[in-house]
Structure 1
Amino acid sequence: MSIVANVLVGLVAALHLYFLVLEMFLWTTPTGRKVFGLEPGFAEESKALAANQGLYNGFLVAGLVWGLVDDRTDVKLFFLACVIVAGAYGAVTVSRRILVVQAAPALLAFLAVLVSR
């Protein structure tokens, strides 16, 4: 079961790496604007805020990778919990879609890590 848990943790890390790229580097491009449903003017005005969000996603990636590399259950659970909380907050404040895209995969990984202990 630990292989499944680690694969799920890796997928959550990969998702957040993708979010980092979208928010830090692609926010004002047609791809970034399409993903987030942004008008060009708003994307340009908010690009610094988006880059900041992307940086935080990078910290989540780093923590999840650390947990995988050092096989630290406590680290994996902590960073997955951070993703779940961020996803729940985003679902309440921004879009319910975030619950499915961000929080649900992290919750599945969290449960898999718990079961594999």
Structure 2
Amino acid sequence: MRILAKALIALIAALHLYIAWFEIFAWTTRGPVVFSSFPTDLFEPTIALAANQGIYNAFLAAGLIWSLLIRDARWHANVATCFLLFVLVAGVFGAVTISPRIMVVQSVPALAALIALWIGQRRT
């Protein structure tokens, strides 16, 4: 279960690195393709807003990666729990305010990782 938790944490960190790259560097090029319902004339004026969101996603990824580098099992679980909860809450908020799809992409994997992490902790 601990290996599954670490694999899920790594995948979620990779997802947030991709989201950060997308929002910081590819908002005006890939954005209109990914968000086809968003008016194309609004991508350029919102580039700074997207980049700001990207930085937050980079911080989430950094925290999850940091948790994977911590050797002490208890502290690894504490830091991973903190950042996974951040991801989960951000996903719920995004699902309520933007699109329910965000719940599936963000919150469900974070919840699965939390469950695997906590089960793995109980066994030690």
Q: TM-score, normalised by structure 2?
A: 0.90
Percent identity, aligned pairs only, is 50
Any runs of at least 4 consecutive aligned residues in structure 1 with deviations exceeding 6 A, and if so which? none
2:27 matches 1:23 = no
Counterpart-to-counterpart distance in 1, 2:92 and 2:55: 19
Instruction: Kindly provide the amino acid, as one letter, of the partner of residue 5 in structure 1.
Output: A
2:97 matches 1:98 = no
1:86 aligned residue: 90
Please list the CA deviations of residues 23-59 of structure 1 after superposition, one character each: whole Å capped at 9, or x if unmatched: 0011000x22211223331110111000000000000
**Structure 1 unaligned spans of 5+:** none
**Structure 2 unaligned spans of 5+:** none
Q: Give the secondary-structure state (helix, strand or coil) at the position aligned to 1:44.
A: coil
Q: CA RMSD in A?
A: 0.9
1:55 aligned residue: 55
Please list the CA deviations of residues 69-94 of structure 1 after superposition, one character each: whole Å capped at 9, or x if unmatched: 11411000000000000000000001
Instruction: Kindly provide the amino acid, as one letter, of the partner of residue 31 in structure 2.
Output: G
The structure in which a higher percent of residues are helix is 1
